[in-house]
Structure 1
Amino acid sequence: MVSLPIFIILIGVLVSISNLTTVPWNIEPTGQSMATLTDDTEVTFDNPSGETLPAKGTYEVTERYITLNMTGDGNLTKESGARGKANADGVQAIKVLIREPQNASGKRPGVVFMHGAGYGTCDNSFGDVASGMASAGFVTAVLDKPVWNTTDINRDYPASAKAYDQVIEYLRDQSDVDEAKVGIYATSESTWISSYLLEDDPDIAFQILLSPMVFSPRQSLGFFVTQDFTLVGANEGYQSIVQRVFSADTGLFGLNNFDLATLKPAAYAVPTYVAYGSKDVMTAQVDGVRAILYNAHKADNWNVTVRSYPVANHVLRLGDESEAGTPFADAYVDDLIDWAVGTSAGLTQTSEKVAGTNLYQSIGLPGALKARRVGTIYGVILHVTVVLLLLASIVLALVALGRKIAADARWRREKREAKHAGMLIPGRPVVLGFAHGFGNALLTLTLTTLATLLIFFAGLGQVIMGVVKLAWGSAPTETPGVMYWSWPVIQVVSVLVLWAWSRVFMHLIEVASVRGLIQIPPRRESVRDIVTGADPVLASTRLGRILFWLVAFTMLYILLVFAFWGLFIY
């Protein structure tokens, strides 16, 4: 039973790799909650003068546009740039939509809106909130997102902060704006940028944070994906993929945004309004509020208001965010406007600071996440190599197929000619010449391994689509399907394939032993017969032998990739 020790060695290697690449992972405590002081989200202030405060709809709103040209470091320039991206000189033309309350007396407070992930413009972003705040007496500015030639994974946050600050300075310079009362409205990704902004410009008057990420991108995204993999019904095994992906040392690829140190007291040193939705599946709300309060108090800021809205998603909308016209949750817009009006007027808040539905967090923040360079390098080499091996195997298989088709066509032609001439019909040509059933074994195990790989991609793809839909506000499916059963099926099939390969290798050893190839020195005539193809162990042609070993190595290498992702942890 030579196959058993071979199997033990192979399974031992794969199990060891799965365990060596395992990332320490702690998502405790689970099921955290934070009770609010009331479920009433209304924001009220003590108004001793009795003066009527503006509210949403008090003023008619006028609109106008300006364009600011900014270099890639966020500085203004006189050179005209390209809109939506940087021109050849790295200059982006950033269009800004200014909304102003019509016939409002005196100098008005201002708000600059900061984009979340993606590529928002001044025309398709924040229209309802910006108009609402302008109708309550604020001069609002919504700008094209400053992106230059970056993407979501390599965004220049310090430069973005400087770009937003240029718009803040523009508002401060306006004759109808009170320069001491210009604040920001930041959502999701931009709450990382706002941390840099407040550090650069401590004169920001106030901030409204919608679904703030609070923690570093590595921790925030690791939490978001880990939690959502569970919510969509994915098998627990797929969590090992999350662990390895979010332990990648992205600095090796010039991506340095994963470990931003944005959680600082300076980021919460001004009056702050924090809003969350109970259906937001992207933010660590309990840990986030605690961290915000801790850092704000450390900066001697006790003016922090937290509101949690039931049924609202990551952007405080009700329902699927991808559908046009999805409304905001309950009184969210009215509440934030009331807060901003009272805060800008310097009034004392009388409503509870923490209100709305109770905050809930299903898992703990994965605080131990960090970049793991060795694992990243190994993973990159492994995946690049398997792609190259697959391509080489496909090319060689196509070459073999082409030769087979050409040889068969030539043979059929020669056969017809021989029959017509009454001559002896030539033998069918041998292209690969597999012997002892090795060709059938190779085909069966290759198809099985590739089918397993497809199941893996199908399961992972369904998980990713489920997470995306969940993030947009859709409800998780009640029938997870392939993303649930695929993991254990792949584990079982991988072991069976490994056992089958050990049987193939055992048979190969047995045939070689009978030929006298394992003895020392090898039997000379057997070596000659193998080289000439007269009495092959594996295949009678060199092409057949090369194809077998290349494809066999590639299929085993795929199992090595499975081991990297934790599929050999039982």
Structure 2
Amino acid sequence: MLKEARADEHLLTGPYRVLASTVLGVVVLAVLGALMGPQWDPVALSDPLAVQTSSTQIGEAPALVRHEVRQRVVTVQLDGTSVQALLSEPQGTDGPARAVVFVHGAGTGTYQEAFYEQAHALAEAGVVTLVPDKRLDTYSLRHRDYVQMADDYAHSVALLRTLPSVDPDRVGVYAESEGGWIAPVMAANDPSLEFVVLVSSPVVPPRQQAAFAADNYLRATGVPHGVFRAIPRAVGMAIPGGGFEYVDFDVTTYQRRMTQPVLMVYGTGDSSMPIVQGPMQVMRDTAIAGNSDVTVRYYEGATHGIRVGADIVPAFLKDMAAWVTGLPQTAGAAPKVAGDQPSQTFLAMPVPEPRWLHNGDVVAVTLIASCIVVALAGLVAPVARGAEVLVTRRRRPDGSAAPAAHRYAPGVARWAAALGAGVVVTVVGFVWYILAIARLALDYTSNGWVVTGAWIAVRAVGILVVAAAVLLFRSIVRNRASGVPVAPGAARAIALAIVVAASAILLVVLAYWGVYQLGI
């Protein structure tokens, strides 16, 4: 009976207590992670935009007339620099023709690699087109000024208006993707622009669009719900290294001054843009300026560049050319909204700002420094032991080495090493997981082993780290109760304190990013 009672006592104070303490630790981290930052709970879009017909044909548009096209490269003078541009002029038009300037999306666009099909289709239809290179000396990942970029593209508009082949009163703008934040600025600042074409326009501020795209990509990839916590905490924080002021640029004030007819085009396969919310917002904004001439077209299955596979949608080129050449009759022609029925599940909305860890520099420095400190602290014990052995040899006349007296207490070194190594592995694994998910999302692909398997693996290692922390704490308490020095010598004591402190910091950061979330 006595043996059985002792066995029961061992079970209650041994593995079961470690398990209970580990569970408690995970729960504490889960609650802490939930309290530290915003959750991600996008609002459902409850007001869909219904198409009037499945046909994308532009009402009241005249039949397109094909023209031969002559091309040449011209120089556009900007403030402080110049760029090259491809000018395409239709031949055989009746007098000066309508013209359009193309505004690039994100990236390092040049006339050799952008808008070939669009510019050619318009030029063949009788519209002079100018595709300038994007100005890059003032454009980078961290620094973009959409108002200044609008001024740069305005120089291309001015150049077109000086050409004999162009009617200066009939010059418009074609903008794609990121250009959707630039063209409305141009239109508001230059009311004499005749029209605006917005293709795959984000409309909402860049930070909101990024969060919306991340949400859609992650849902399509099938990631566990806990990963969504990273959206507001990553997108909402100040990005490490500074810059990125443009992520909060709001084009609304400029859209509310747009009096020109607007053609908006989206592919229903584009999950990166708010394809329903965007046109609705532009309709509301332009209405404030007294402008109701907004035409919207959706192309079935087309992606961000209005492509299905590698090919641009032919109907898009035809419809765009028909709308532009048919102005002003096509500006208000029915149907206003047509094509494939778009679907947008959630609104692109303001991103909650993290209450804690808002400063990206602090987050990055904390992670990197803590991992480095843990790694360096792990070298202290062997270095200290080596120094003690050398000192002992010098002091013994026969040169023999006696075992160093100073050692960590039983179990302390083992569990401290497990804690430090485990938390660093969890951090590295989590960063790898996020990067892997981002790549899958951007490629519109999924991989169950990565999406679910790697997430389970990261969380499992994280839980084992908490167990190692519990076992380390128990070892320290047990040895102190027995009168055994836990970490003899200043070097060992400092190294242990550093490992514990840095690991605690990393555990809190991991909890913040959702590794320990329990649906809280």
What is the deviation of 1:434? 2.3
Return the match for 1:354 from 337, 341, 344: 337
The 1:364–1:303 alpha-carbon spacing in structure 2 relative to 1, beyond 3 Å, is: same
What is the deviation of 1:328? 0.5
8 Å CA contact 1:198, 1:266 repeated in 2: no
TM-score normalised by the chain length of structure 2:
0.87
- Which stretch shifts more, 113-122 or 450-459? 450-459
Detail structure 1 runs of 4+ shifted over 6 Å in the superposition.
Answer: 1-9, 402-408
* Deviations 1:188-224 (CA, angstroms, capped at 9, x unpaired): 1110111221221121111111111011112111111
The 1:134–1:373 alpha-carbon spacing in structure 2 relative to 1, beyond 3 Å, is: farther
Residue identity matched to 2:208: Q
Q: Which residue of 1 aligns with 2:42?
A: 27
Aligned residue runs from structure 1 range 473-552, under 5 A? 476-477=445-446, 479-515=447-483, 537-552=485-500
Return the match for 1:388 from 369, 376, 384: 369
The 1:293–1:481 alpha-carbon spacing in structure 2 relative to 1, beyond 3 Å, is: same
The 1:141–1:255 alpha-carbon spacing in structure 2 relative to 1, beyond 3 Å, is: same
8 Å CA contact 1:222, 1:242 repeated in 2: yes
Q: Which residue of 2 aligns with 1:155?
A: 144
CA distance in 1, matches of 2:407, 2:55: 80
8 Å CA contact 2:104, 2:178 repeated in 1: yes
CA distance in 2, matches of 1:4, 1:507: 15
Q: Which residue of 2 aligns with 1:176?
A: 165
CA distance in 1, matches of 2:155, 2:240: 29
Alignment partner of 1:426 is 2:415: no
8 Å CA contact 1:46, 1:349 repeated in 2: no
- Which stretch shifts more, 28-37 or 286-295? 28-37
Residue identity matched to 2:204: F
Q: Which runs of 5+ in 1 are unaligned?
A: 48-52, 71-75, 77-90, 320-325, 471-475, 516-535
Aligned residue runs from structure 1 range 74-113, under 5 A? 76=79, 91-113=80-102
8 Å CA contact 1:311, 1:329 repeated in 2: no
CA distance in 1, matches of 2:515, 2:415: 24
Return the match for 1:62 from 51, 70, 78: 70
Alignment partner of 1:560 is 2:512: no
- Which stretch shifts more, 264-273 or 203-212? 264-273
TM-score normalised by the chain length of structure 1:
0.79
* Deviations 1:496-552 (CA, angstroms, capped at 9, x unpaired): 43243133223212322332xxxxxxxxxxxxxxxxxxxx62234433333222223
Q: Secondary structure at the match of 2:70?
A: strand
CA distance in 1, matches of 2:240, 2:246: 8
Alignment partner of 1:187 is 2:176: yes
Residue identity matched to 1:182: V
Q: Secondary structure at the match of 1:359?
A: coil
Q: Which residue of 2 aligns with 1:262?
A: 251
8 Å CA contact 2:416, 2:468 repeated in 1: no
Q: Which residue of 2 aligns with 1:525?
A: none
CA distance in 1, matches of 2:501, 2:451: 28
CA distance in 2, matches of 1:400, 1:195: 64
8 Å CA contact 1:30, 1:364 repeated in 2: yes
8 Å CA contact 1:24, 1:368 repeated in 2: no
Alignment partner of 1:40 is 2:8: no
* Alignment size in residue pairs: 500
Alignment partner of 1:312 is 2:302: yes
CA distance in 2, matches of 1:390, 1:92: 45
* Deviations 1:94-143 (CA, angstroms, capped at 9, x unpaired): 11111111233301111000000011112211112112211111111111
What is the deviation of 1:402? 6.2
What is the deviation of 1:337? 0.5
Aligned residue runs from structure 1 range 207-218, under 5 A? 207-218=196-207
Q: Which residue of 1 aligns with 2:8?
A: none
What is the deviation of 1:374? 5.3
8 Å CA contact 1:161, 1:194 repeated in 2: yes
Residue identity matched to 1:202: P
CA distance in 2, matches of 1:453, 1:138: 56
The 1:388–1:150 alpha-carbon spacing in structure 2 relative to 1, beyond 3 Å, is: same
8 Å CA contact 1:249, 1:373 repeated in 2: no
CA distance in 1, matches of 2:386, 2:327: 80
Aligned residue runs from structure 1 range 426-465, under 5 A? 426-428=401-403, 433-465=407-439
Return the match for 1:287 from 277, 285, 293: 277
CA distance in 1, matches of 2:355, 2:419: 34
Q: Secondary structure at the match of 1:500?
A: helix
Q: Which residue of 2 aligns with 1:334?
A: 318
Residue identity matched to 1:29: A
The 1:14–1:309 alpha-carbon spacing in structure 2 relative to 1, beyond 3 Å, is: same
8 Å CA contact 1:22, 1:566 repeated in 2: no
CA distance in 2, matches of 1:394, 1:172: 65
Q: Which runs of 5+ in 2 are unaligned?
A: 1-12
Residue identity matched to 1:442: A
The 1:166–1:154 alpha-carbon spacing in structure 2 relative to 1, beyond 3 Å, is: same
The 1:154–1:569 alpha-carbon spacing in structure 2 relative to 1, beyond 3 Å, is: same
Return the match for 2:154 from 147, 152, 165: 165
Residue identity matched to 1:389: S
8 Å CA contact 2:38, 2:355 repeated in 1: no
CA distance in 1, matches of 2:460, 2:241: 35
Please tell me the root mean square deviation across aligned C-alpha atoms, in Å.
3.2
